[in-house]
Amino acid sequence: MRDIDVRRVLAAELQRRFRGASDTLIIHELGLCSGIARVDLAVVNGRLHGFEIKSDSDTLHRLPTQLEIYGTVFDHMTIVVGPHHLQTAQRMVPSWWGVIKAEPGAPVSLLEVRAAGSNPSPEPIAVARLLWRDEAVALLDKSGHGKGIKSKPREVVYRRLVEVFPLDELRCLVREQLKAREDWRSDALRT
């Protein structure tokens, strides 16, 4: 069982689950923290839910770094693992992460082991970095806080966003901007 086998079934399940929900976007390989990492699948609607796939043909070597990065950004997070990695992954991921077991077969079957909870400590600057620089500047302009920011480096722009907007409002604004973005690669799917 390979990553692509699990990804196809998971993407189809997410599309089925959110079919008809016009406010939902499913993104393959969402870049995080200015491109430092990518999550396999992300669902953007009233929350930001990431899905990381670790099939039996994968290793868990990168998981500690991914845990750290994903924990700064997502409202909810789920790891989807093959039976070989299930016990180890359950010990590694925080208790707020969901766990789905991917069973080999034709097609792969998915079994929820633990539902995802809410992230207790997202980092505002990491959430802001989900925006492209011009999107962040536009949000600041719209809110009346864009003066003197247009020529500044993107990290300064992101810090201004964090200063201006409380975390809950920033998270909502970022989700709305991600859903409104038109220039996604072809693998971003609207439901």
Residues 6+ apart with CB under 8 A from 183: none
How many DSSP H helices and E strands does the chain contain?
7, 7
The Cα 64–Cα 27 span in angstroms is 22
Sorted by where each starts, the structural domains of the chain and their CATH numbers stand as 3-120 (3.40.50), 124-180 (no CATH)
Relative to beta strand 109-114, strand 98-103 is antiparallel
**60, 28, 25, 59: which is closest to 43 by C-alpha?**
25
For position 186, what pLDDT does the model report? 46
**132, 55, 51, 144: which is closest to 93 by C-alpha?**
51
**152, 111, 155, 115: which is closest to 131 by C-alpha?**
155
The first and second tokens of residue 139, run together, are 């949000």
- Identify whether the C-beta of residue 76 lies closer than 8 Å to the C-beta of residue 116: yes
Residue-wise pLDDT tens digits, 110-128: 999 999 999 999 999 999 9
Q: What is the largest CA-CA distance in the chain?
A: 57
Question: What is the percentage of the chain residues whose pLDDT exceeds 90?
Answer: 76
Give me the amino acid identity at 153. Answer: P
Q: Label residue 165 left, alpha or beta by phi (over 0 means left) and psi (-120 to 50 means alpha).
A: beta
Least confident span in 14-18, 165-169, 183-187: 183-187
For position 43, what pLDDT does the model report? 95
Residue-wise pLDDT tens digits, 58-90: 889 999 999 999 999 999 999 999 999 999 999
The count of residues in the chain is 191
pLDDT at 191 over 80: no
